[in-house]
Chains A and B, each alone.
Chain A
Amino acid sequence: MSRWGKRTLKLSRIKELLGCEELSSSHSGDTEIESVMPSDMMSDVLAFAQPEALLITGLVNSQSVRTADFADAILIVYVRGKKPSEQTIELAKELNISVMATGMGMFEACGILYEGGLKGIC
């Protein structure tokens, strides 16, 4: 808990809980996240965008990184064992976004984050 009444998870804890591989470490492991935007549809993410959130998606193209940036997200977690190209990871680094990848599916990963106290946005 960082702020009163609000539950958060540190990036390092998210990595642990989801068994993630870290692909871009733009933010320190102590950075806290409060909300999650789970979607494979970019306009759905942008419809509810809230700053400093986590984008969780199975979509690994460069537009997933740009969408995260336009939504002012801090972290992208790619599910289902998918990984973006080197070029796309470079773009995330340029845009100051942390990136992780997990073998878990969307449902399981979101379930764990929900258990961990995070709230969903879209």
Chain B
Amino acid sequence: MNEEALYKKKFPVTGGDFDKAGEVSTQIKAILKTTGIDNDIIRKVAIASFEAEMNVVIHAEEGKIEFILTTSSVIINVADKGPGIKDIDLAMQEGYSTASDDMREMGFGAGMGLPNIKKSADDFEIKSKVGKGTWVRITIHHEQK
């Protein structure tokens, strides 16, 4: 594909760091707000990015989020080091969650994160290796005004 990357940025994410959790997605939203991309598209990106970011914070040890803006799409790549996911089909089901009670008390563990990402994305890929980590790629198309 002859998609030209207009902008690229990588952000680190630390597992269990609830002081910072969500900051990366707030930054990504702020960048997109300067582009003239439609608000409904920006909301989809922000929601998908936040769910993927929180999954690293809640379920993994550390990770990286790469934000790429191309002429036609927004791409969010998330790679983490962590426990990985044994059964991805199961993890994708609405309501499935292994989050602890502590996480639930903080508002996480509804088992809606991955389904929300899938719903928001035009294209969504997820790969995982148990004991190694998880890799997620979210693509959302936009029309540059």
Residues of A within 8 A of B (CB): 40-44, 46-47, 49, 51, 57, 59, 61-64, 66-67, 69-72, 95
Which of B26, B29, B43, B112 interacts with A44 by CB under 8 Å?
A: B112
Chain B stretch 95-113: residues in CB contact (< 8 A) with chain A: 104, 106-113
Chain B stretch 41-87: residues in CB contact (< 8 A) with chain A: 43, 46-47, 50-51, 54
Task: Kindly name the residue among A44, A70, A72 whose own CB sees the greatest number of chain B CB atoms within 10 A.
Answer: A70
Q: How many residues does chain B have at the interface if contact means C-beta atoms less than 8 Å apart? A: 26
Taking the closest CB of chain A, its distance from the CB of B139, in whole angstroms, is 18
**Chain A contact residues, majority secondary structure:** helix
**Chain B contact residues, majority secondary structure:** helix
Taking the closest CB of chain B, its distance from the CB of A52, in whole angstroms, is 11
B16 CB–A CB distance under 8 Å:
no
CA–CA, A47 and B116, complex, Å: 6
CA–CA, A59 and B107, complex, Å: 7
With A49-B43, A59-B107, A66-B50 given, can you name 13 additional A-B contacts, CB distance below 8 Å? A40-B107, A43-B110, A43-B111, A47-B112, A49-B47, A61-B107, A63-B18, A63-B21, A63-B22, A64-B107, A66-B22, A70-B46, A95-B26
